[in-house]
Amino acid sequence: MTVPPDDRTFRREMATAYRSGWHFIDLVTAIPHRGDSLMVTLFGEPILVAREEDEDVRAYRCLRKPRGAPQPVRCAVRYGMVFVNLDQRDHQLIEPQTSTATPRSA
């Protein structure tokens, strides 16, 4: 797949990807078939990118602990390229904080 260098949509998506913590891993053609995988090290963390049985591409953070289950990592395929986001804030559910304040007029 060839993308012309003057494609505004491509440039906008690439700028968003780099600004938001998304990192380029490889081309999706590096894992062409179901069951294929690719191991990369990104910022000192081993990341496994695999093509699952349902043809989706998924990424996992490999833990160094014995018997540690791989943690899923946000993964996206855009323009035939695989991106992952290692930002921990994107992987945690944030519960709303409730504050119990008494109004000054009470």
Average pLDDT over residues 2-8: 66
Average pLDDT over residues 7-16: 74
> Binning pLDDT at 50, 70 and 90, where does residue 20 land?
low
Cα 34 off chain centre by: 19
Angle of CA points 71, 75, 80, to nearest 5°? 145
CA distance 59 to 92: 16
24-68 tens-digit pLDDT = 889 999 999 998 999 998 877 888 999 988 889 999 988 776 666
Average pLDDT over residues 57-86: 84
Q: Is pTM, for the whole model, over 0.85? A: no
Mean pLDDT of the chain: 77
